[in-house]
Amino acid sequence: MRNKIYILLISFSFIIIGCGEVTTTTTDGRVINSTSTGNDSSSSNNNTPSSITNNLDNSNDISDINSSNERLQIIGKITYDRVWVNSNGIGLNYSNITKEPAKQVIVKAIGADNQVIKSTTTDDNGNYSLNNLSSNTKLKVQVYAQLKKSGIGGWDLKVVDNTNGNSQYVMESSPISLDDNSLRVNLNAQSGWDGSSYSSERTAAPFAILGSIYQAMQKVLSVDSSATFPTLVVNWSKNNTPSGNGDEAQLRDGQIVTSHFDGENSLYILGDANSDTDEYDNHIIIHEWGHYFEANFSRADSIGGSHGDGDKLDIRVAFGEGWGNAWSAIVTDNPIYYDTMGRKQSNGFSMNIESEFTQNPGWYSEDSIQKILYDLYDSHNDGGDTLSLGFKPIYDVLVGSQKTTPAFTSIFSFITYLKENNPSAINKIDDILANENIESIQNIYGSTIDSDLYSDMSNGSINICTYSQYGRGNKLYNHRYIRFSISQNGNYTVRVKQSDGSNSDPDFSLYKTAPFINMGASEESVFGVESHSYSLSSDDYLLDISDYNNLRRACFDITVN
């Protein structure tokens, strides 16, 4: 019987026939090889595929594929174009595009009536196998930008277009007629770059993002095989621009402010060409996923806001951002963090997570935090760093004591618990801290380093001042932390009244510390005073006081009655 392969909707530009091999190149550049020897006895012993036009490997076992005429198979490899950064860390290098395996993505055989005939996932080499297919079947192979694995050690994430009905990205083959022979169908998601611009669909982008996240998940699983990853939706679109306020309507238009984790179950990733695209900026994807990890596996108390070199930050922001940067280097084992942007994605910047000069080193610096965390992890000794803990001890603290700490999550709580878990490494940990101008951390509140950072309220009242000398909002001392205890269950009113004028706008948030629960924020736009009533149980609490007006100095009488 003569073997046939029907490829529908294809305009053939030319056909080359030779030596029993048929190579067909379509007008859109696809190459179809059919080594159909048919009844040609001269090649009857040839039971392997013909040469393959790209460098895809043939790791699937195909020896038993055609044992039954009614039981056919489609095997193949799914890849995506990854565009690498230039060697100087600035700008994407479109001359350096590699085909990377799309790991663990969902592959479906879709029938002519759009029914799913078979479904599977690729392995870590991008290989897949759709088995037990009937002959005389018309189908397409679809690859979903989705990773889904149930049970312990599982995950559930997908990439959608937030500007297009949250539609999930799928790439598909041409229509295929599966007659009497099994097929190898290799599919590649292309970057869409034509040498000077993105002139066609950027099919690779969602798969590149999944590749980065999968790499991060594998790092977690390398130290905890039972880690199970909560549902995550990644919103990427070529319309996603660094603009807007981030409200829902703007997110649907692609105005996402920046690549970010939304604090719940979504990442938003920039994709606006000639402005800022992040799909190939591996460290950024992993950094933002690091915030998802912190929120779901550990605890993230960061209040967000803008941040940069030399900033003296609120301790929660410093730790969260330092963690994100360090995590991107830990996952990739590459301390060079890069962010590409600008016209033709040819611009950008890079920084060395381990050795970047720190303008204001200290416990309030995200640069210091990232260096400390990476130095604790890495095996490269430099400066005062002679410690190589690897990721496991860091992970154990993050998912353990750091998650339940009665203090705010900061370098103080993290190092305190790390020392508790690793007493033999205390001196070397202190050496790493000293590199960043931080004295030995002795407790979760950092009270031996800055005794004013947390204050204790006694007899139901205290006077505290906020300061904005280091900047507004999320900078150091704009927020002040107050500890207090409630001895009897009941209704209590927290009142914050300015004591040195009436031009501030005090706000506060209340937290129960064990277990750590956010009891809610009080953020009325009222000058001089803020109050709110809570039903409180007999427990310990943390109060976070701030002045929305960011006065250089504002002092407050705080009462809990």
Partner 1 sequence: MNKIKTTKLLIASILMISLNKEVAMAKDNKIAEGTTIGHYQKPGAPVDITYHSTRVGLDEIADINISLITTLNSGEMEVKINLDDNLEQIGEAYDSVSFTLSPNQKSYNINLKVKSLKDGLYYIRLLAKVDTIGGAKMRALAVPVYVGDGKLKKKSNQKIMKSLSGENISISKAEETIEIIK
Q: Distance between CA atoms of 52 and 445, rounded to whole angstroms? A: 62
Range 345-374, binding partner 1 (CB under 8 A): 347-349, 351, 356-359, 366-367
- In a 10 Å sphere around its CB, with 0-12 CB exposed, 13-18 middle and 19+ buried, how is residue 25 labelled? middle
Query: Is the CB of 200 or the CB of 448 nearer to partner 1?
Result: 200
According to CB under 8 A, which one of 107, 118, 276, 290 is a site residue for partner 1? 276
Residue tagged 């997570």 (tokens)? 353
According to CB under 8 A, which one of 275, 404, 440, 442 is a site residue for partner 1? 275
Quote the Cα angle for 252-254-256, to 5°: 105
Site mask for partner 1 (CB under 8 A), range 41-60, x = bound = -----xx-xx-xxx-x----
402 touching partner 1, by CB under 8 A? no
* 3-class DSSP assignment, residue 486: coil
According to CB under 8 A, which one of 154, 308, 460, 520 is a site residue for partner 1? 308
244 touching partner 1, by CB under 8 A? yes
- Cβ atoms of 299 and 405 closer than 8 Å: yes
According to CB under 8 A, which one of 27, 96, 132, 274 is a site residue for partner 1? 274
Q: How far is the CB of 560 from partner 1 (least distance, A)?
A: 27
Q: At what angle do helices 392-399 and 282-297 cross, to 10 degrees?
A: 50
319: left (phi over 0), alpha (psi -120 to 50) or beta: alpha
Query: Is the CB of 60 or the CB of 388 nearer to partner 1?
Result: 60
According to CB under 8 A, which one of 83, 161, 327, 534 is a site residue for partner 1? 161
Q: How far is the CB of 64 from partner 1 (least distance, A)?
A: 11
375 touching partner 1, by CB under 8 A? no
Query: Is the CB of 158 or the CB of 419 nearer to partner 1?
Result: 158
Long-range contacts for 189-197 (Cβ within 8 Å, ≥24 apart)? 189/78, 189/79, 189/80, 189/81, 189/102, 189/143, 190/81, 191/81, 191/83, 191/94, 191/97, 193/83, 193/94, 193/97, 195/94, 196/344, 197/273, 197/344
Residues forming beta bridges with residue 61, ordered by sequence position? none
According to CB under 8 A, which one of 311, 385, 505, 547 is a site residue for partner 1? 311
242 touching partner 1, by CB under 8 A? yes
Q: Distance between CA atoms of 307 and 479, rounded to whole angstroms? A: 15
Range 476-495, binding partner 1 (CB under 8 A): none
Q: Which two tokens stand for residue 256?
A: 């996402």
Site mask for partner 1 (CB under 8 A), range 130-149, x = bound = ------------xxx-----
User: CB-based contacts of 319: which residues, under 8 Å, 6+ apart?
Assistant: 302, 369, 409, 410, 411, 414
According to CB under 8 A, which one of 245, 424, 459, 491 is a site residue for partner 1? 245
Among the residue ranges 28-36, 383-391, 420-428, 486-494, the one whose residues contact partner 1 (CB under 8 A): 28-36
Q: Which two tokens stand for residue 312?
A: 């003296």
Return the closest-CA partner of residue 94 out of 345, 341, 336.
345
Return the closest-CA partner of residue 52 out of 188, 227, 235.
188
According to CB under 8 A, which one of 28, 124, 382, 540 is a site residue for partner 1? 28
Query: Is the CB of 406 or the CB of 471 nearer to partner 1?
Result: 471
Site mask for partner 1 (CB under 8 A), range 436-465, x = bound = ------------------------------
Range 288-307, binding partner 1 (CB under 8 A): 288, 304-307
Q: Distance between CA atoms of 350 and 335, rounded to whole angstroms? A: 10
Range 74-133, binding partner 1 (CB under 8 A): 75, 114-116
Q: At what angle do helices 204-223 and 392-399 cross, to 10 degrees?
A: 90
183 touching partner 1, by CB under 8 A? yes
177 touching partner 1, by CB under 8 A? no
Q: Total residues contacting partner 1 (rule CB under 8 A)?
A: 110
Q: How far is the CB of 95 from partner 1 (least distance, A)?
A: 18
Q: How far is the CB of 323 from partner 1 (least distance, A)?
A: 12
